[in-house]
Amino acid sequence: MTPPAHTPTPTVPTHTAEPALVQGRGILSRAVVDALRSGRAPARATTAEVLKADPWGEDLQLALYLLYELHYRGFADVDDSLEWNPELLRLRRSLEDRFLHALRTATAGAPDTVAEAFGPLLVEPVDLSGSLSHHLETEGELWQLREYAALRSLYHLKEADPHAWVIPRLTGRAKAAMVAIEYDEFGAGHPERIHARLFADLMVDLGLDVTYGHYLDRAPAPLLATVNLMSLLGLHRALRGALVGHFACVEVTSSPGSRRLAKAMRRCGAGPAAEYFYAEHVEADAVHEQVVRHEVIGGLLADEPGLEPDVAFGCAATILLEDRLAAHIRAAWDQGRSALRTPPADGHTDLPGQ
């Protein structure tokens, strides 16, 4: 498919600007917001409050997302030096422990070998009734595609960034293969083909706001958890095997899902850039899937065979959170309501309720 003509880039592209800080959703996230605004320690976010928090809930997931975002683009009017503030790092570690314990508990019965973890993913399921991409392909409406893109923008506007953290933690064959894949993700030397830019173009076609982080305030906890998982695994060297497992899982499952989403965009008349983003991933990720399985995972385990259970855990945790997100979205849509937390209020005619 021929790449669509790109929309003109503003003098200061809004999808590269520092995002605005949002309101908290509970004791923990409000404490983080207050700390980021004031520069003072998050006093109310005690260990007891973290232990009481729902590890899948809005409060903990938003608090974790805000703290992780300090390692990406930060927030407007928030001091960049807070990225390494000891009190915020201490709180982040407590939140991570709570989240990671929940992930390990929920995946306790999952396979612990690469063959068992990835084998089922290499075969297209016969029954796609629970697949979100299948729903969008066959019966999804344009407003649902817009919602889906708005939610996914929290990752896709920084696509591949979390996975880049693993590069200095790999050696030899695994490192060379990972860098080759990331080179493609970052446009192979062409800024207009960086995947985050292609997703911004998709959002323009769909009439969405491409400001980085614009939809954070509306994103529910199941979506935040999928992005937080990448940051959690990427920021800890001890979890490098799990990050490779996560990355491999995404690449293995991407091509079939992207094919369905490209068809959905075409069927709904979403626009050439919207269709192209997913069409590009059909071909690219089919190649990446082979490289990541045979070279990245193969190279990593040749160097560090003891990391195999971690690779399998990364895959299992990814599937768990993607299934939780799909269930959340489908439940909302089946009831005829938005999957977003709050009705849109920015005046755009891009999502339900506006």
Whole-number pLDDT of residue 7 = 47
Q: Which residue has the higher pLDDT, 156 or 255?
A: 156
For residue 9, the model assigns a pLDDT of: 45
Collect all residues with Cβ–Cβ distance below 8 Å to 259 and sequence separation of at least 6. Answer: 278, 282
> Which residue's entry shows tokens 């855990």?
313
- Average confidence score pLDDT of the chain: 91
- Chain segment 216-262, per-residue pLDDT in tens: 999 999 999 999 999 999 999 999 999 999 999 999 988 889 999 99
Query: Mean pLDDT throughout 277-305?
Result: 89
Q: What is the pLDDT of residue 343?
A: 58
User: With bands split at pLDDT 50, 70 and 90, how would you rate the model's confidence at 290?
Assistant: confident
DSSP 89-141: HHHHHHHHHHHHHHHHHHTTTS--SHHHHHGGGGS--S--TT-HHHHHHHT--
pLDDT of residue 75: 96
The confidence score (pLDDT) of residue 282 equals: 84
Residues 6+ apart with CB under 8 A from 137: 260, 261, 263, 264, 267
Tens of pLDDT, residue by residue over 109-141, are 999 999 999 999 887 765 667 789 999 999 999
Query: Residue 286 pLDDT > 80, yes or no?
Result: no
Q: What average pLDDT does range 199-212 have in this prediction?
A: 96
3-class DSSP state for residue 235?
coil
Q: What are the CA-CA distances from residue 105 to residues 102, 110, 260, 301, 322 (Å)?
A: 5, 10, 32, 24, 16
- pLDDT bucket at 326, cuts 50 / 70 / 90: very high
| The pLDDT of residue 4 | 63
In this prediction, residue 283 has a pLDDT band, given cuts at 50, 70 and 90, of confident
Output the pLDDT for position 130. 73
How far apart (Å, rounded) are the C-alpha atoms in residues 27 and 49?
A: 8
**What are the chain's domains?**
17-106 (no CATH), 114-334 (1.20.910.10)
pLDDT digits (tens, 9 = 90+) for 21-69: 999 999 999 999 999 999 998 988 899 999 999 999 999 999 999 999 9
Global pTM?
A: 0.92
Amino acid 114: pLDDT = 97
Whether the pLDDT of residue 153 is over 50: the answer is: yes
What pLDDT does 38 receive? 94
The predicted structure's pLDDT at residue 352? 46
Residues with Cβ within 8 Å of residue 98, at least 6 apart in sequence: 50, 51, 53, 55, 60
Which of the pair, 343 or 106, is modelled with greater confidence?
A: 106
User: Could you tell me if 282 and 81 are in contact, meaning their C-beta atoms sit under 8 angstroms apart?
Assistant: no
The per-residue pLDDT for 126 is: 54
Contact 251, 285 (CB under 8 A): yes
